[in-house]
Structure 1
Amino acid sequence: MNFTSSRTLGACPPRRELRRVLCTGLALALALPLAAQAQTAAYPAKPVKVIVAFTAGGTTDLLARSVSQKLSEKLGQPFVIENRPGGGGNIGTESVVRAAPDGYTLIVNSVGPISVNQSLYKKLAYDPLKDLVPIVQIADVPNVLVVHPSVPANSFDEFLAYAKTRPANFNYGSTGVGTSSHLSSFMLMQNLGVDALHIPYKGANALNDLLAGRLQFMFATIPSVVSQIHAGKLKALAVSSSQPSRALPKVPAVASRIPGFEAGSWFGFFAPKGISPEIVQLLNKEVNAILPQLNDQMVREGADPVGGSPEQFARMTQREFVKWQKIVKDSGASVD
């Protein structure tokens, strides 16, 4: 039997209903990737909101602004920073979890809201590891152990000896209960067997009291105190990363005296769950291209640029959750 049929893509032979359905399905299957590509090609077609879940001027804010400015220049649309502080970063983070996953609401976030708070807060209404999509890690930022100049310790070894002989009023500040600042000091005192008094603050108020001599020591992110260190207003004795920071190369790592000690901060871009994988890949590619341009500035300010794939960033956030879950439990820290 001889018959003719059209081989033209999208054309359905007449009076053949089954073939008509198959052709329609094929056309749709081909159209969906094209639509996704068109959406990605047009992105961003309007300003992009970048949430920072902390106050302006902090480490998260500074890193977000530096990278977002470069993204604006490269992609031709403003990447606008919006600070939404409160609740240890939970308020701003939840606002992004609830946002439309269209690529026009992103967040630059850190270790606390992503990998610590679900162990710390009893009533967290979302799971950041499931409800946010990692895009790219921007930087590692070690915490640095800083003391007031009046503390009679000019090296980490001297500080360890000093801490072990101090009376009950030995104290340290932090930027809040359960923050990296708090838990770094807790880990150090736990290793030393010292029962120091923790005095939590809101944000920069802890640094103000340390500078005034009302606190004896604290762990702070390097960018938040590097200018005071260089000005001689604070003494930097150790960093919480496994190796010395490029920003403070002469300051030893805590791990040089307490093997395995690592309690730094990290920062990166996230988006609401459901965002197009093509947009994730586009943003990942652009940020990875931007970081070398910011290398000198970031190192000078106390941050070590990282970059990498979304998959690498996702695995790291999960490892951090497991690590901090145990530390939070050991510390007894909890927020209702």
Structure 2
Amino acid sequence: MLLNRRSILVATMGVACSAIARAELWPRKPVRIILNFPAGGPGDAIARYLAQRMSAILGQQVFVENRSGGAGAVGILAASNAQADGYTFLYTTVTGVVQVPLVSKDQNFDPLRSVVPVMGIGSTPMGLFVHASTPVADFPGFIEWARKQPAGLDIGGGGPIVEIATAVLARSANVRLVYVPFRGTAPVVQAALAGDIKAFFSTPSPVITENIRAGKLRAIAVTSASSSSLVPGVDPIAKFIPGYVQDINFGFFAPAGIPAEAVVKFSETLAKVLAEPEMKERLSGFGLGLQPLAASEMARITARDAETIRKTLETTPVKFGE
């Protein structure tokens, strides 16, 4: 039986009103944000601050659950396998999502299908930092110093993002660099301050900035395409190695199949938080440049990064460690 235009319009309006009504009812219970980084780092600080602000707007608790380990894969897999009921979200990096199949034995995970993008919040480069006792003041000096190390130079870092950055730098600069894995920013900084490692890659963080000001650490270079206010006073590595750019995009994802009304309300609430006057400065203090992105743009970046990493690994073998 054919429906006339009025019937179709009434039916469509009914569906739309139903979706809006369901969105207005969400959330009926606390909302969980899984974070695949350990407590104490800048990612943890950002997630907890956003959760606090969202709780105030929603009138319902939004809480953070740290699920680190497995080079970041543990938390991402936990989120992807969670019930898609609209009450579990994931805060992580696009690169982290893309790299799960490379660092995990779970071959069922598909970066483009197992989780869905919800909203991007910002991006950051990584800084290359050294202990203040090293005879290094800039990037050319760093490479010269690294080449003098008989067994190669250890580079600390937290996760496969840093491992790839280290491998690409070693190949591009024709220098031996040995990646030393840590479980996040906080432990790698602690190891550097203790003198256990002399150099490391990391996203910017307040603790790094404090120790640079205290004369304990030194920034050498930044992985953005041009100079960055997040790692001030240093040249980009791209100035010396054209094309070397390692920016990291942060955002929220959710298990595939999540109700649309939950995504809509979560995104609307997050957008309100990100629009608060102090947000840009606060995120910058945590080492993140504010750059809200729609879910569609997050999906495009995820697909792009997946292809970039695939091509990188064709020419730069990486043995992923935890």
Q: TM-score, normalised by structure 2?
A: 0.88
| Residue 258 (structure 2) aligns with | 275
In 1, Cα distance between the equivalents of 2:104 and 2:78? Answer: 17
8 Å CA contact 2:35, 2:67 repeated in 1: yes
Residues 24 and 312 from structure 1, CA distance in 2 versus in 1: closer, same or farther, beyond 3 angstroms?
closer
For residues 164 and 283 of structure 1, the distance between their equivalents in structure 2, rounded to whole angstroms, comes to 50
For residues 2-26 of structure 1, the C-alpha deviation after alignment (integer angstroms, 9 at most, x for no partner) is: xxxxxxxxxxxxxxxx699x99998
Task: Report what 1:143 is aligned to.
Answer: 126
Distance 1:61 1:180, change over 3 A: same
CA displacement 1:33-57 (0-9 Å, x = unmatched): 3221111111223221111122111
Other-structure match for 2:44: 61
Q: Which amino acid aligns with 1:295?
A: K
For the residues of structure 2 that align with 1:83 and 1:99, how far apart are their CA atoms? Answer: 14
**Cα shift at 1:191:** 1.0
1:207 maps onto 2:197 in alignment = no
Equivalence for 1:317: 302
Q: Deviations over 1:246-270 (max 9, x none)?
A: 2233222111221111113221111
- Give the AA of the match of 2:204: I
Q: Which has the higher contact order (CA 8 A, sep 6+)?
A: 2
Shifted more, 138-147 versus 240-249: the winner is 240-249
Comparing 193-202 and 183-192, the one that deviates more: 193-202
Q: Check conservation: 1:122, 1:335, Cα contact below 8 A.
A: no
Structure 1 residue 186 corresponds to structure 2 residue 167: yes
Single out whichever of 48-57 and 165-174 deviates more from structure 2: 165-174
- Cα gap change, 1:100 to 1:198, in 2 (>3 Å): closer
Count of residue correspondences: 317
The correspondence of residues 1-336 of structure 1 with structure 2, limited to 5 A, is 30-176=13-159, 179-203=160-184, 204-223=186-205, 225-293=208-276, 294-329=279-314, 330-334=316-320
My pick for the range that moved more, 233-242 or 59-68, is 59-68
CA positional deviation for 1:233: 1.4
Query: Which segments of 5 or more consecutive residues in structure 2 lack a partner in the other structure?
Result: none
Whole-angstrom CA distance in 1 between matches of 2:144 and 2:299: 39
Q: Provide the identity percentage.
A: 30
- How far apart, CA to CA, are the structure 1 residues paired with 2:239 and 2:2? 71
Deviation, structure 1 residue 143: 1.0
Cα drift, residue 314 of structure 1: 0.9
Quote the Cα distance in structure 1 between the aligned partners of 2:275 and 2:12: 39
In the TM superposition, what is the alpha-carbon distance from 1:122 to its structure 2 partner?
4.7
1:126 partner letter: F
C-alpha contact (below 8 Å) 2:164/2:318 kept by paired residues: no
Q: Distance in 2 between matches of 1:111 and 1:226?
A: 25
Higher Cα radius of gyration? 1
